[in-house]
């Protein structure tokens, strides 16, 4: 596990954009495609804006037509809903870059049946990655955030999804928000070549220390369950979020 501590959220977004574009170039050189699972919430917005910006070097570096966008989770709302992770990414990035529509694999969260949406997305992954029986999707990069109570993607404390070992996408009921969510499960998230958590701000300091330096209790702190089995784990954080960390790598 690598912990990169940047001075502030702006510097954090830049380091994330450097990693994003580097991984994209490596993946496209190696396999002709870059498969990335985006996270939701607010932290990634600054990264997405940098990637899309015509004033920054990242946009020109990116092999956009060979990049395929997926999501680690989605709220159970239509894509034009203010809470939609897809909508956030579309507004901050996708609508501003030359990416073909058939390279954007949105979770169909408009389906009133969240479980059916999860099953449909699992099929989308199976087809998109041309998987044989027994194989799992392997993302080149999975971006994740850290919730204040230790959730990541839509794996919330106490969720059965944390211990899921077979299904790749599930639709847990999230009592905290009184709603269903659709989320990739640890077997897929952990199978990525690179898992990068983004955490910014003093309000994340306590939970970041607990998740990164505390004892392993993934049922209680689901972010701890995403430890790559055959890949790299990086925490990109800012000074404010890292305030309580003992080890300053």
- Distance from C-alpha of 84 to C-alpha of 214, rounded to nearest angstrom: 32
**CB 93 → ligand 6PG: shortest distance, Å?**
15
**CB 74 → ligand 6PG: shortest distance, Å?**
7
What residues from 33 to 52 belong to the interface with ligand 6PG (CB under 6 A)? 39-43
Using alpha carbons, select from 7, 39, 1 the residue that is nearest to residue 20. 39
- Distance from C-alpha of 160 to C-alpha of 78, rounded to nearest angstrom: 25
Comparison of 66 and 218: residue with beta carbon closer to ligand 6PG: 218
Comparison of 52 and 107: residue with beta carbon closer to ligand 6PG: 107
* 56 phi, psi to nearest 5 deg: -115, 160
**CB 212 → ligand 6PG: shortest distance, Å?**
15
What residues from 72 to 91 belong to the interface with ligand 6PG (CB under 6 A)? 73, 85
Pick the piece of the chain touching ligand 6PG (CB under 6 A) from 9-17, 139-147, 209-217, 230-238.
Answer: 139-147
Comparison of 66 and 245: residue with beta carbon closer to ligand 6PG: 245
Q: Determine the size of the site formed for ligand 6PG (CB under 6 A).
A: 14
Comparison of 94 and 153: residue with beta carbon closer to ligand 6PG: 153
Beta strands in the chain (DSSP E): 2-6, 34-38, 67-71, 73-75, 141-145, 169-170, 173-174, 179-184, 194-199, 232-238
174, 83 contact by CB (below 8 A): no
**CB 149 → ligand 6PG: shortest distance, Å?**
9
Using alpha carbons, select from 102, 123, 120 the residue that is nearest to residue 112. 120
What residues from 189 to 228 belong to the interface with ligand 6PG (CB under 6 A)? none
Among 137, 145, 150, 222, binds ligand 6PG (CB under 6 A): 145
The site map against ligand 6PG for 146-165 (x = CB under 6 A) is xx---xxxx-----------
Q: How many helices (H) and strands (E) does the chain have?
A: 7, 10
- Distance from C-alpha of 185 to C-alpha of 154, rounded to nearest angstrom: 9
- Distance from C-alpha of 182 to C-alpha of 71, rounded to nearest angstrom: 10
Q: What is the binding site for ligand 6PG (CB under 6 A)?
A: 39-43, 73, 85, 145-147, 151-154
């Amino acid at each position: 596990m690598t912990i990169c501590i940047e001075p502030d959220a702006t510097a954090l977004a830049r380091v994330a954009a450097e990693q994003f574009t580097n991984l994209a170039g490596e993946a496209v050189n190696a396999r002709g495609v870059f498969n990335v699972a985006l996270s939701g919430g607010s932290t990634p917005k600054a990264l997405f804006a940098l990637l899309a910006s015509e004033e920054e070097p990242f946009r020109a570096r990116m092999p956009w037509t060979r990049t395929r966008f997926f999501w680690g989770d989605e709220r159970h709302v239509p894509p034009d809903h203010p809470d939609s992770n897809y909508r956030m990414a579309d507004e901050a990035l996708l609508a501003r870059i030359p990416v073909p529509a058939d390279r954007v694999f949105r979770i169909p969260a408009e389906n009133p049946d969240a479980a059916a949406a999860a099953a449909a997305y699992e099929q989308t992954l199976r087809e998109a990655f041309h998987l044989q029986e027994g194989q799992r999707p392997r993302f080149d990069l999975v971006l994740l955030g850290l919730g204040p109570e230790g959730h990541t993607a839509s794996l919330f404390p106490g969720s059965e999804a944390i211990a899921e070992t077979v299904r790749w996408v599930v639709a847990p009921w999230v009592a905290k928000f009184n709603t269903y969510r659709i989320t990739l499960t640890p077997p897929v998230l952990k199978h990525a070549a690179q898992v990068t958590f983004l955490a910014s701000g003093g309000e994340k300091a306590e939970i970041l220390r607990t998740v990164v330096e505390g004892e392993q209790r993934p049922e209680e702190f689901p972010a701890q369950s995403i430890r790559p089995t055959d890949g790299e784990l990086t925490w990109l954080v800012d000074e404010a979020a890292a305030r309580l960390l003992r080890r300053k790598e």
